Chains A and B, each alone.
Chain A
Amino acid sequence: MAGRGVPAIANGAATAADWMSAASFISMAGLISFMGYDGAVYLMGWTGGYVLLALLLAPYLRKYGKYTVPDFIGDRYYSHTARAVAAIATIFISLTYVAGQMRGVGIVFSRFLQVDIATGVIIGVAVVAFFAVLGGMKGITWTQVAQYTVLIIAYLIPAIAIANILTGNPVPQLAFTFSDLVARLNQIQVDLGFTEYTKPFQGKPMIDILAITLALMVGTAGLPHVIIRFYTVPDVRSARYSAGWALLFIALLYTTAPAVAAFARYNLISTLHGKSLEEVRQIDWVAKWEKTKLLAFVDKDGDGKVTVAPGRAFALKGGKPDFNTPDEKSKNEVHIDNDIIVLSTPEVAKLSPFVIALVAAGGLAAALSTAAGLLLAMSSAISHDIYYRIFRPTATEAQRLLAGRIVILLAVILAGYFGVNPPGFVAQVVAFAFGLAAASLFPAILLGIFDKRMNREGAIAGILVGLIFTATMIGMMRAPQIFGAPAPVIPNLWGISAEGIGVVGMILNFVVAYVVSRITPPPPEHIQHLVEDIRIPKRAGQAAEH
């Protein structure tokens, strides 16, 4: 054990860097800012999953010690079909997730190169493809520890500065909790015709909040590129502690984000509302963001002043704002894309250009490091699990490498397409990946460890039902954004939206897997021994010592 692997704390920081993506860094605070209380789904959802990971999956997968998630599923369910289904699920999940990253990268490039968002995404695709195909992105742990450091500093500096300016308390979490800022924000919101910022269930009903939170938690625990990190620690004990450190490092950003969200909203409203359009357009960051079309104004009442109010500034066309058609149902005259909240916060708070550049670098680091991890998970699913393990066990190292690179290239291009035509905001795109992971991989892994009787037939049936159900429902609920349909086929299921539907898929998976496994033959003897073995930390070879 000595000299092997890295300390749990370093692996924790590396996991945090790998995991916190463009969605966490760029999108999340913006979404919360817009959603108020309802934004808690992302906060609880993307942290609570680590509890499931630490208690239910990581220690056992570490004990098993293979390289990929499809490897575990293929071996545990003694089946190439199970391996292939798990590999396809991995590809599907990672591709959805990586599309969210491309959009994040595109937003950063579009702002700082002063181009429109589509061009920004294409530049992002080119950069990612270049690095991935060269094979230069395979991060080692200490590089990722450094990435975490950049990322968290870039996030905390503007948060601390704004907390200090607005409340006189530099610790964002304390400023958020103990100052009267949120109370003041509540009052401003009510004055402008919004509901209170802290009022729950304004955008989504309670059942949807429950479903989305659970889908995100379970999905986090089922994400292949997150699980892979726990194979790199030296032993089972480190896998447990490593999950704790990872969540501690993640929590540093995740408890800051809701503070940034409230501060940014307060700041934006007070900077824009009631000012003359001319005056507002002279502000440097307003002019620059307006060029990206992520910030736009329309003077509906012709008074030359900006009005912030509930509702849309522009009518929607195909799920996107149509800048030629003001939405006359609302008095709101400002369109603010949620994704610019974090990136513009240092500018709104008048911090130095160095900090502004640092935040952009942090966002880019977050997006690129996560994209790298996802592309690796995807290419290993195809080149290792499908191509090598199933079709060509005789393939040479070079052939497998080539297959992996072709996959990465295709995946980046496809992801770029979805980045330009996104089915939602970055964090929502990513949320679909979680729903799919929750409905497919998580139940199969969990049952593989905790239910000795679970067999091949049950697991495969469960994964297929969960995956197909969830993908179909998301496709129907998001038909306008994905297929350009005029309206969703169904808007929601019992109040559960596309983001939370993975929970229903997961329940179906569990039920189908249980029923099918009980009416088909039990798994072979050696598989039952395998399950007994992964349940204890001690390795088989060590038994003789006692």
Chain B
Amino acid sequence: MSNLEGYWKANTSLIRNLLIIWALVSYVFGILLVEPLNSIRLGGLPLGFWFAQQGSIYVFVVLIFYYAWKMDQLDRQYGVHE
């Protein structure tokens, strides 16, 4: 049972870390800090605006694939894969 507890703990801390990044790119960079970040430019767009309408979406896609890949490793490590 402690084995499964370890698996669940590893899983939930991975989820927590990824959700911190999720909140950072959308809520923090895209909304809360949008005005200060807008003084920086990325190409022709203000950076905060870019995070809100482009950047956050790219990061979301990467987060899901990273989670799936990392969980493959965890599943094997704890021997709980199908």
How many angstroms between the C-alpha atoms of A47 and B7 in the bound complex?
A: 28
Contact segment of A73-81, A266-274, A536-544:
A536-544
Q: Are A51 and B22 in contact (CB under 8 A)?
A: yes
Residues of A within 8 A of B46 (CB): 198
Across the interface, which residues of B come within 8 angstroms of A1, CB to CB?
82
**Which one, A32, A181, A450, contacts B44 given CB within 8 A?**
A181
Interface size range on B against A: 35 or more
A contacts with B: majority SS: helix
A491 → chain B closest CB, angstroms:
22
A532 to B12, CA, bound (A): 14
Cβ–Cβ contact B45 & A43, under 8 A:
no
Q: Does A241 contact B (CB under 8 A)?
A: yes
| Chain A residues, CB < 8 A from B53 | 32, 37, 39-40, 43, 258
Taking the closest CB of chain B, its distance from the CB of A204, in whole angstroms, is 11
Main secondary structure of the interface of B (DSSP, over half): helix
| Residue of A179, A200, A247 touching B49 (CB-CB under 8 A) | A200
> Are B49 and A537 in touch, CB under 8 angstroms?
no
With contacts A43-B53, A55-B19, A258-B54 taken as known, whether A538 is within 8 angstroms of B60 at the C-beta atoms is: no
- Residue A157 is within 8 A (CB to CB) of chain B in the complex: no
CA distance A248 to B60 in the complex (A): 9
Report if A54-B67 is in contact (Cβ < 8 Å); known contacts: A198-B46, A254-B57, A255-B54. Answer: yes
Structural contact, A51 and B57, CB atoms closer than 8 A = no
Q: Which of A32, A200, A255, A532 has its CB near the most chain B CB atoms (within 10 A)?
A: A200
Q: Chain B residue with minimal CB distance to A181?
A: B44
Which A residues are in CB contact (< 8 Å) with B72?
Answer: 237
- Given A180-B44, A535-B8, verify A210-B27 contact (CB < 8 Å): yes
- CA distance in complex: A214, B23 (Å): 10
B43 touches A51 (CB 8 A): no
Q: Are B57 and A213 in touch, CB under 8 angstroms?
A: no
A51-B60, A183-B44 are contacts. A176–B31 as well, Cβ < 8 Å?
Answer: no
- Output the residue of B49, B56, B60 with the most chain A CB within 10 A: B60
- Residues A243 and B81 in contact, CB atoms below 8 Å apart: no
Q: Which of A34-75 contact B (CB under 8 A)?
A: 37, 39-40, 43-44, 47-48, 50-51, 54-56, 59
How many residues on the A side are at the interface (Cβ–Cβ under 8 A)? Answer: 53
Q: Is A546 an interface residue (CB 8 A)?
A: yes
Task: Find chain B residues with CB under 8 A from A254 CB.
Answer: 57
For the complex formed, measure the closest distance between the CB of A387 and the CB atoms of chain B, giving whole angstroms.
34
A535–B15 alpha-carbon span in the complex (Å): 13
The answer on a CB contact under 8 Å between B82 and A538 is yes
- Most A CB contacts (10 A, CB to CB) among B49, B50, B56, B79 go to B49
Complex CA gap A40/B37 in Å reads: 15
Report the bound CA distance from A19 to B9 in whole Å.
Answer: 32
* A-B pairs with lowest CB-CB distance, top 5: A40-B52, A178-B43, A240-B68, A244-B64, A258-B53
29 A-B residue pairings within 8 Å (CB atoms): A37-B34, A37-B53, A40-B30, A44-B56, A51-B22, A55-B15, A55-B64, A56-B15, A59-B71, A177-B43, A178-B43, A198-B45, A198-B49, A200-B34, A200-B52, A206-B31, A209-B31, A236-B82, A237-B68, A237-B72, A237-B81, A240-B68, A240-B71, A244-B61, A248-B61, A255-B58, A532-B4, A538-B81, A546-B79
**A-B contact sample (17 more), CB < 8 A, given A198-B45, A206-B31, A537-B81:** A37-B53, A44-B26, A47-B56, A47-B60, A48-B26, A177-B43, A177-B44, A177-B45, A177-B50, A179-B43, A180-B44, A237-B68, A237-B82, A247-B60, A254-B57, A258-B53, A258-B54
B interface with A by C-beta (< 8 Å): 4, 7-8, 11-12, 15, 18-19, 22, 26-27, 30-32, 34-35, 38, 42-46, 48-50, 52-54, 56-58, 60-61, 63-65, 67-68, 71-72, 75, 79-82
